[in-house]
Amino acid sequence: MENNTAKHAVIIGAGFGGIGLAIRLKQAGIENFVILERAGGVGGVWRDNTYPGAACDVPSRFYSYSFEQDWQWSSLFAPQPEILAYVEHCAKKYDIYRHIRFNTKVGGAHFDAATGLWTTQTETGETFHSRMLVSAVGLFNRAALPAIPGLDTFEGPTFHSSKWNHGFDLAGKSVAVIGTGASAIQFVPAIAPKAGKLYVVQRSPQYVMPKLRDRLPQDRRWYHDTRLFRRYERFKVYWMLERGVPRRSSPRMTAAAEKLFLTHLEGQVPDQDLRRRLTPQYPFGCKRVLMSNDWYPALQRPNVELVDKAVVEIMPDGFRTGDGTVRKVDAIVLNTGFATTEYIVPMKIAGLGGADLNTTWNGRPEAYLGIAVKGFPNFFMMYGPNTNGAASIIYLLECQARYIAAAARRLLRNRDVYMRLNDDVQTSYNATLQGRLTRTVVAHASCHSYFKTDSGDIVTQWPGFMLEYRMKTAFPQMRDFTIERPASQQT
């Protein structure tokens, strides 16, 4: 089925990015757009990740839209149901639902230089024509499953943490958790008291710092409801996160942070051998630094065992580690992360001359400001290459939404043209960006994380301050683009 009336924009994804952009477009007077969402609701990762203990590790006052601050957060770090409710509230308040096509999975899209239009195809055969195409699919939308021999032979429940099996009762069961990433830091303390035996399989230890606690009693609602107080709290979080940016390129600051961590670890874990096994051998900050007040106490429960040997085989009733030890379990939870460096997989996006974006990137995704890509006119990305940082992604998504909405207004004023990013702009920008990243702790050879591709390229991280990114994305610099007229309209 074909939707013949061309939209001004097609947005792929109804998470924080897609909803935020939709709101910006409406504020700019642009109503002719559609959001294609593969699932049955808004929220993205906050809809999908419902594991026990799921919550944000950025204070909620800053992990929210700047223009929608009246929300009553129950705590400093909001739990998953509350964040999802916030996104649903924003979609409803700003009348976004009528623009969304739920349960609509995009297979691919291609640009036609003759008409200046994008054609987007869904997996059910629908097509949508639009002047602009925006990928807002996020960074954590595809689970990465480990290639462990025998994984498919296990006879009990096996599930990734992002697809939690709530139908399985862990009470009294023996459970293996493979991986100790950000999700495990939250759900292991939540399920440890219920499980009969819990094996936590660690590939490498994490830097886990104490989590801030709420400083105000919740009964002082008038204080939380004061607009001036909300702005003050938001700015405090912003400033705290910005102050941490220079540490990535400062050996002195990194060493100081490591010292604080070791002091915290020693206070939390009295056992010297366990403390040794929980001490990272890579620099502080080269991976995501995690926060929890419950992680180390959970690992010291009598029914919890830290396994720091690699799993070499999964059997029908358990798993075997490299030292030959076999452990019998009733269920396996995979906390093995996401395919963060494959930004648009499995979609196929074809630009000028039919060039496929994944083929063009050849395993090293890059874009200008993480938003625009050379050879792909009127195509924009949210949470694109090198836009993740040690901050609130919502702040950066708002910067991207502002930039894309400004481009949309420009195209609305000039209905017969398209914007093509100049090749040298992207090339020069990324050469500078990668040069900056190589001078940070993220590039350390001993550090393996979702920040990098398998070949070691850093394709997810932003190296600078949030304020710098905001200034760079204040509006599209038209000198960065070539304005062209579709071939069918040239005389």
pLDDT value of position 491: 53
Structural domains present in the chain: 2-42+96-142+339-489 (3.50.50.60), 151-334 (3.50.50.60)
pLDDT value of position 215: 60
Find out whether 380 and 133 touch, Cβ atoms under 8 Å.
yes
pLDDT value of position 221: 57
pLDDT value of position 214: 66
Neighbour count for residue 243 (Cβ, 10 Å): 11
Say which amino acid occupies 407. A
pLDDT value of position 20: 98
**In 194-308, alpha helices (H):** 221-225, 227-243, 251-268, 272-277, 295-299
pLDDT in tens, 164-178: 999 999 999 999 999
Find out whether 285 and 430 touch, Cβ atoms under 8 Å.
no
Structure tokens at 273: 């051998």
Which residues of the chain have a pLDDT value below 50? Answer: none
pLDDT value of position 55: 95
Q: Inter-axis angle of helices 393-413 and 16-27, to 10 degrees?
A: 40
Say which amino acid occupies 398. E
CA distance 220 to 5: 52
For the stretch 287-319, what's the b/e string if a residue is b when 16 or more beta carbons lie within 10 angstroms of its beta carbon?
Answer: bebbbbebbbebbeeeebebbbeebeebbeebb
pLDDT in tens, 302-359: 999 999 999 999 999 999 999 999 999 999 999 998 888 888 988 999 999 999 999 9
For the chain, the C-alpha Rg in angstroms (whole number) is 23
